[in-house]
Protein backbone atom coordinates (compact mmCIF):
# COMPACT_ATOMS: atom_id res chain seq x y z
CA UNK A 1 0.00 0.00 0.00
CA UNK A 2 1.40 3.39 -1.00
CA UNK A 3 1.70 6.53 1.07
CA UNK A 4 -1.55 7.90 -0.31
CA UNK A 5 -3.72 4.79 0.00
CA UNK A 6 -4.05 1.98 -2.49
CA UNK A 7 -2.00 3.78 -5.17
CA UNK A 8 1.77 4.05 -5.32
CA UNK A 9 3.15 7.59 -5.51
CA UNK A 10 3.67 7.21 -9.28
CA UNK A 11 0.10 5.97 -9.73
CA UNK A 12 -1.15 8.86 -7.60
CA UNK A 13 0.65 11.39 -9.82
CA UNK A 14 -0.87 9.76 -12.92
CA UNK A 15 -4.32 9.88 -11.33
CA UNK A 16 -3.83 13.57 -10.47
CA UNK A 17 -2.90 14.32 -14.09
CA UNK A 18 -5.94 12.37 -15.33
CA UNK A 19 -8.30 14.19 -12.96
CA UNK A 20 -6.84 17.61 -13.86
CA UNK A 21 -7.28 16.81 -17.57
CA UNK A 22 -10.95 16.18 -16.79
CA UNK A 23 -11.46 19.55 -15.05
CA UNK A 24 -11.34 18.24 -11.47
CA UNK A 25 -11.68 20.58 -8.51
CA UNK A 26 -8.71 20.75 -6.15
CA UNK A 27 -9.97 20.69 -2.56
CA UNK A 28 -7.48 21.86 0.07
CA UNK A 29 -8.43 20.67 3.56
CA UNK A 30 -5.65 22.40 5.53
CA UNK A 31 -6.05 25.09 8.18
CA UNK A 32 -6.44 28.74 7.24
CA UNK A 33 -2.87 29.44 8.38
CA UNK A 34 -1.48 26.68 6.16
CA UNK A 35 -3.59 27.88 3.22
CA UNK A 36 -2.24 31.41 3.68
CA UNK A 37 1.33 30.08 3.42
CA UNK A 38 0.63 28.79 -0.09
CA UNK A 39 -1.93 26.81 -2.06
CA UNK A 40 -2.89 25.59 -5.51
CA UNK A 41 -4.21 28.46 -7.61
CA UNK A 42 -7.95 28.05 -8.12
CA UNK A 43 -8.33 25.45 -5.35
CA UNK A 44 -11.36 25.33 -3.10
CA UNK A 45 -10.56 25.59 0.61
CA UNK A 46 -12.67 23.69 3.12
CA UNK A 47 -11.01 22.80 6.43
CA UNK A 48 -11.14 19.05 7.10
CA UNK A 49 -13.50 19.18 10.07
CA UNK A 50 -16.01 21.19 8.00
CA UNK A 51 -16.14 18.66 5.13
CA UNK A 52 -19.13 16.74 6.59
CA UNK A 53 -21.10 19.99 6.75
CA UNK A 54 -20.15 20.96 3.18
CA UNK A 55 -20.68 17.62 1.42
CA UNK A 56 -23.79 18.81 -0.44
CA UNK A 57 -21.90 21.86 -1.72
CA UNK A 58 -19.06 19.60 -2.89
CA UNK A 59 -21.57 17.31 -4.64
CA UNK A 60 -23.09 20.36 -6.36
CA UNK A 61 -19.78 21.00 -8.14
CA UNK A 62 -20.54 17.91 -10.27
CA UNK A 63 -16.83 17.37 -10.82
CA UNK A 64 -14.12 14.96 -9.81
CA UNK A 65 -12.21 16.11 -6.74
CA UNK A 66 -8.52 16.02 -5.85
CA UNK A 67 -8.14 16.35 -2.07
CA UNK A 68 -4.86 17.87 -0.82
CA UNK A 69 -3.28 18.92 2.46
CA UNK A 70 0.28 19.22 3.80
CA UNK A 71 1.32 15.55 3.95
CA UNK A 72 -1.53 13.42 2.63
CA UNK A 73 -2.99 12.35 5.99
CA UNK A 74 -5.88 14.82 6.23
CA UNK A 75 -6.58 14.63 2.51
CA UNK A 76 -6.74 10.84 2.98
CA UNK A 77 -9.39 11.29 5.66
CA UNK A 78 -11.32 13.66 3.42
CA UNK A 79 -11.01 11.24 0.49
CA UNK A 80 -12.46 8.35 2.50
CA UNK A 81 -15.37 10.49 3.70
CA UNK A 82 -16.13 11.86 0.23
CA UNK A 83 -15.96 8.38 -1.32
CA UNK A 84 -18.51 7.20 1.26
CA UNK A 85 -20.74 10.02 0.00
CA UNK A 86 -20.45 8.93 -3.65
CA UNK A 87 -18.05 11.67 -4.72
CA UNK A 88 -15.39 10.75 -7.29
CA UNK A 89 -12.23 11.76 -5.43
CA UNK A 90 -8.53 10.98 -5.32
CA UNK A 91 -6.13 11.72 -2.48
CA UNK A 92 -3.60 14.07 -4.07
CA UNK A 93 -1.44 14.10 -0.94
CA UNK A 94 0.67 17.22 -0.38
CA UNK A 95 -0.71 20.23 -2.25
CA UNK A 96 2.60 20.60 -4.11
CA UNK A 97 1.84 17.30 -5.90
CA UNK A 98 -0.96 19.10 -7.73
CA UNK A 99 0.55 22.58 -7.85
CA UNK A 100 3.39 21.40 -10.10
CA UNK A 101 0.84 20.62 -12.85
CA UNK A 102 -1.09 23.91 -12.67
CA UNK A 103 0.10 26.44 -15.22
Q: Which domains does the chain have, with CATH numbers?
A: 9-99 (3.40.250.10)
Q: Give the pLDDT mean for 39-57.
A: 98
Spatial contact of 95 and 69, defined as CB atoms under 8 Å apart: yes
Could you read off the pLDDT of 7-40 as tens digits, one per residue?
678 898 999 999 999 999 999 999 999 999 999 9
How far apart CA 94 and CA 71 sit, in angstroms, is 5
Q: Give the pLDDT mean for 66-86.
A: 98
Q: At residue 88, does pLDDT exceed 70?
A: yes
Could you read off the pLDDT of 51-70 as tens digits, one per residue?
999 999 999 999 999 999 99
Q: At residue 3, does pLDDT exceed 50?
A: no
The sign one gets for the Cα dihedral 10, 70, 95, 100 is: negative
Return the pLDDT at 7: 64
Amino acid sequence: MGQFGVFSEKETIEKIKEYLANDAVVLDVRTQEEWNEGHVEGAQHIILNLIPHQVEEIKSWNKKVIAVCRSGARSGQATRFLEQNDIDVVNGGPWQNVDQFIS
